[in-house]
Amino acid sequence: MTQYVLMNPGPINVSPTVRRALAEGEDLCHRESEYFDLQDRVREKLLTAFGLSPEEWAAVLVTGSGTCVLEAAVVSSLPTGGTMLVVVNGVYGDRIAKMATAHGIEHERVETGWLEPPDLALIEERLTEGRFDVLAAVHHETTTGMLNPVEALGEMAARHGAAFLVDTISGLGGETFDFGAIRPTLAVCTANKCVEGLPGVSFVLVRRDHLDRMTGVPPRSLYLWLPGYFAAQENRSTPFTPAIQVTEALEAALDGLIEESVRGRIARYAEASRILRDGFESLGLELLLPPERRSNTITGLRLPPGIDYDRLHDALKARGYVVYAGPGKLREDTFRISNMGQIPREALEAFAGHLRSALEEVG
């Protein structure tokens, strides 16, 4: 079977150690001490990797994709009757608002175009005029690869007494995320992007005082109720059957992250995106975002005139690379290249040449 170079923004190419952990992990019962030891270690390693104090923070594991744990964070972040202000400038901010709608949570959107940053003045105005329990935003909008100003948003949330829920599913591990400066209440992430684990397990890094406040609030969901997961995990238990072997792979991924350090990983990804972007510029391709808004991991590109995305995708796949379509209304004339995960430098350096020949083939 061909091992493609995955240039989609997760799931990513993982290290042999992570893959081995999945394949060679033990068969465990999730009601036995061996599983609880694994769960304890993974929760602890998450805090260690991101430099968080266990007195202030807890890692809560949830079996499911990023959307699953994000929905858990949304429904577990407000008291009964609480309201949420949602920053929307892409698919994933929109998804948070849709989750609020699905659960009957009162909310308001502050929306800008997908190629624009959030309107901080309008957000300040809404936080001043309204009474919001939670401000929710996406750190790295995977829609375009845009970094949103989470530090400014966190400062506003703190000043207005709102909890700050951050979807950093495609950011954490790949971008600087200063918990002290951003002051998130809940930071939501998944195993299979910049943490370099496999899909199936996700997590929230959440302030313990928030979980204390949420205790006693009537659950809005059975499966997606974070205080329930937290209470069980603190007591060496689990409410439901977890993805045990994926958690074993996550432990291996966290060992890798701690060894490389978050700073080291960010530097590796920054260098990878530099190699790719130098190549894109040499091909005369137009990048969607100005340099100051670009992340270390996703490059949004304008499709050259006359190029059909699906044909370009197939031509690149035949050369061993999986690339990613633009989302929603950006599908017609853009595409995305991600450099998350274990991509060898040679594969990054060779990509521009493959892209050139693929463009010539389908043009």
Q: For 292, which DSSP code?
A: G
Distance of alpha carbon 16 from the chain centroid: 22
Is the CB of residue 353 less than 8 Å from the CB of residue 22? no
Closest residue to ligand PLP in the complex (CB): 66
Is the CB of residue 244 less than 8 Å from the CB of residue 35? yes
Check binding of 70 to ligand PLP (CB under 6 A). Answer: yes
Sole binder of ligand PLP in the list 13, 65, 77, 238 (CB under 6 A): 65
Q: Per-residue contact track with ligand PLP, 136 to 165, x per CB under 6 A?
A: --x---x-----------------------
- In order, the DSSP letters of 101-136 are HHTT-EEEEEE--TTS---HHHHHHHHHHS--SEEE
Q: Please list, in sequence order, all residues whose beta carbon lies within 8 angstroms of the beta carbon of residue 295, skipping any fewer than 6 positions away.
A: 140, 145, 146, 147, 171, 174, 175, 273
Check binding of 327 to ligand PLP (CB under 6 A). Answer: no
Strands 106-111 and 83-88: parallel
Check binding of 184 to ligand PLP (CB under 6 A). Answer: no
Stretch that binds ligand PLP, among 59-67, 113-121, 153-161, 320-328 (CB under 6 A): 59-67
- Interatomic CA distance for residues 144 and 93, integer angstroms: 12
Report the residue number, 147 or 157, with the smaller CB distance to ligand PLP. 147
Sole binder of ligand PLP in the list 87, 97, 169, 182 (CB under 6 A): 169
Give me 33's structure tokens: 């001490």
Check binding of 9 to ligand PLP (CB under 6 A). Answer: yes
CB of 6 to ligand PLP, least distance (A): 13
CB of 256 to ligand PLP, least distance (A): 20
Report the residue number, 100 or 315, with the smaller CB distance to ligand PLP. 100
In the complex, the residues that contact ligand PLP under the rule CB under 6 A are 9-10, 65-67, 70, 92, 138, 142, 167, 169-170, 190
